[in-house]
Structure 1
Amino acid sequence: MPAVENGALAGRVAVVTGAGRRAGIGFAIAEELLTAGASVLVHSWAPHDAEQPWGADPAGDAGVVAALGGEGRRLRHVSADFADPQAPGQVVAAAVAAFGAVDVVVANHARSSGQSLADVTAAELDLSWAVNARASVLLAQAFAAAHDDSRPGGRVILFTSGQHLAPMSRELPYAISKGALHQMTLTLSDTLIDRGITVNTINPGPVDTGWAEPDLAARVGRALPAGRWCRPAEVARLVRWLASDDSRWITGQVVDAEGGFRRWVM
C-alpha cells in the first residue's frame, strides 16, 4: 500500500472499528483512508470472529496490521470488546493519544449471533444491543467530547444492513440492534451538525467478506444485477467520500449502496 502524504484526507485522523480480518470491510476502509492520507487507528476484537463459522483471521491482529503497512506514524491498532461500556471511550482516547486529535469515526463493527425468534435469548439481545447499538452511540459521544471543532471534516459514519428494507428472521438480535443505528442517524446528525460534524449511515447490501455458504453466495449473486456481490473496496470508497470535504453538505442520511439488490429473487 503506498504511503500518501498529500491525499484528500491528509492531516485527518480516523478511527475504524471492526477491522480484524483482511477479507473484511473494516480492513478495506482502513486501507482506503490510509491511501487517502489519513492517520488511522484500527480497532478489532478477534474473539468474536473466532466464534463465527468464518473464524478469526489466520494471521491474527499482528498480521492484519502488518498488511496495512504496520504500526507507525500514521497507523495504530487497539483491541477492545465493545460489550464493555468503557471500551468505546478508550478507543477514541487511544486515537487522540496516538495522533493528537480525532476527526472521523467509522463504526463498522458488528456482532452476529444467528438467533431466530424460537431460540433468541435475553442474554444475546442484551449483548447485541450493547455491541452494535450502544457502543456506536458511545463512540459518537466520546468523539464529540474529544473533537476540536476548529478542525475541518468532523464525521461519524455508521453501518446498518438493510433491516428497513427486508426482514432478517434468522438474525433477530442483529436486525434489531443494527436497525437502531438507522433510527439514531437523524437524531445524532441534528445533535452534531451545528458543530460542523456530519453523521451518516451506510447500508452496503451483500458484501463478499467470506462469510456466506456457497448456496447463499450463488443465490445472492443472482439477485444482484451485476451478477456478483459487492466487494469491500467498493464500500471503502463510499466511506472515503463521506469522510472527505466533498460530502460536507450530506448529513442525517442512510445510504443504501446495494447495487440494485433484488430481494424478491431470493
Structure 2
Amino acid sequence: MTARFTGKVALVTGGGSGTGRATALAFAREGATVVVAGREPRDLTDTVTLIEKEGGKADAVMADVTHALDVIRLVKSTVERHGGLHIAFNNACWVPHPHMIAETCEAVWGEVLSTNLTGVWLLMKHEIAHMRENGGGVIVNHSTNVSVNGRRLGFGAYASTKAALSALTRTAAQEHIGDGIRINSISPGDVEATNGRAEWEEHVKTSAPAGRVARTEEIADTVAWLASPESKFVVGHDLVLDGGVTL
C-alpha cells in the first residue's frame, strides 16, 4: 500500500455516497485524514464508519455548500479539528430531473446554479484563503463531460453550470499557482453508482468505445492522482473521464 497522503488533511464535499465516498476511501487508504461534508448525516456517518473499519482516520461535518456561513464553518472546523487543509475535492453537486430549456423553471435553474457553481466558488474562495497562508495545497473540482459534448438533451441547466465551473477552475488555477495551489477539474461521464437511468447506461454500452460506464473507484483513483505529487505539473486541466464518449 502506498501512502502518498500521509500527514495530509483532505476535505471531500458530497462525501456521503458515490464518487465522493469512493474518493474519501481512496484518500484514507493512502494515509490522509479525511473530512467528509454534506447534508445527510446518516450517509456521512456511514462513510466515516467504512474508513475507520479499514483503519483510516475520518470525520464528518454537516454543511450546505450553497450557504456561505456553512462553507466558512466547514473550512474552519476542518482546520481546527485536524490542524490543516491540504487537499480539497469539491464534489457536491445537484443533477435535476431532465427538462428542455423552454420548460426549465426559475427555481430549478437557481438551485442548480447555487449548488454546482456558486457553491464551488464559495468553497474555493475559503479553501484558497487558508492554503495561500499555509504553504499551498491541491484542489480538484467535479465537472462533467456533458458540458463538453452536450449529448444529454434536457440537461441544459446542469451542463451550463458545469461548463462555467470548468472555466472557473482554469481561471483560479492561473491566479493561484503562484501561491503554491494546484487546481484542476475532472469531467466524468456516467458512473455506475450514481446512474439511475438504465436506458442511458444501455446506450453507453452500445455507443461508447469503452462499452460501459465508469466505476466510482476509477474516478476516485484519478482524483487521487490529481491530488498527489505525481501530477505536480498538471495545472488548470479539465480531465474528461468517459471511456471515449467525447472523442
2:78 paired residue number: 95
Question: For 1:167 and 1:90, how far apart are their aligned partners in 2?
Answer: 38
The reply on whether 1:236 has 2:220 as its aligned counterpart is: yes
Residues 113 and 124, structure 1, Cα contact 8 Å, conserved in 2: yes
Q: Which amino acid in the other structure matches residue 27 of structure 2?
A: L
* Count of residues in correspondence between the two structures: 245
SS in 1 for 2:15: coil
Residues 65 and 120, structure 2, Cα contact 8 Å, conserved in 1: no
CA separation of 1:255 and 1:262: change in aligned 2, threshold 3 A: closer
Question: For 1:26 and 1:201, how far apart are their aligned partners in 2?
Answer: 14
Q: Which amino acid in the other structure matches residue 33 of structure 1?
A: F
The TM-score normalised by the length of structure 2 is 0.91
Q: Which amino acid in the other structure matches residue 202 of structure 1?
A: I
Match of 1:245 among 229, 232, 237: 229
1:8 paired residue number: 4
Question: For 1:123 and 1:97, how far apart are their aligned partners in 2?
Answer: 36
1:196 paired residue number: 180
The reply on whether 1:141 has 2:121 as its aligned counterpart is: no
SS in 2 for 1:42: strand
The reply on whether 1:20 has 2:16 as its aligned counterpart is: yes
1:155 paired residue number: 138
SS in 2 for 1:155: strand
Identical-pair percentage? 26
The reply on whether 1:75 has 2:58 as its aligned counterpart is: yes
2:68 paired residue number: 85
For residue 62 of structure 1, report the CA deviation from its aligned partner: 2.6
1:215 paired residue number: 199
CA separation of 1:148 and 1:38: change in aligned 2, threshold 3 A: farther
SS in 2 for 1:43: strand
Q: Which amino acid in the other structure matches residue 10 of structure 1?
A: T
For residue 235 of structure 1, report the CA deviation from its aligned partner: 0.7
CA separation of 1:253 and 1:210: change in aligned 2, threshold 3 A: closer
Q: Residue by residue, what CA displacement relative to the aligned partner does 1:30-60 show, whole Å, maximum 9, x if unpaired?
A: 000001111110012239xxxxxxxxxxx64
Moved over 6 A (4+): none
Runs of at least 5 residues in structure 2 that lack an aligned partner in the other structure: none
1:30 paired residue number: 24
For residue 165 of structure 1, report the CA deviation from its aligned partner: 2.0
Residues 205 and 230, structure 1, Cα contact 8 Å, conserved in 2: yes
Q: More helix per residue: 1 or 2?
A: 2
Question: For 2:229 and 2:158, how far apart are their aligned partners in 1?
Answer: 32
The reply on whether 1:41 has 2:35 as its aligned counterpart is: yes
Runs of at least 5 residues in structure 1 that lack an aligned partner in the other structure: 48-58
For residue 79 of structure 1, report the CA deviation from its aligned partner: 1.8
C-alpha root-mean-square deviation of aligned residues, in Å? 2.3
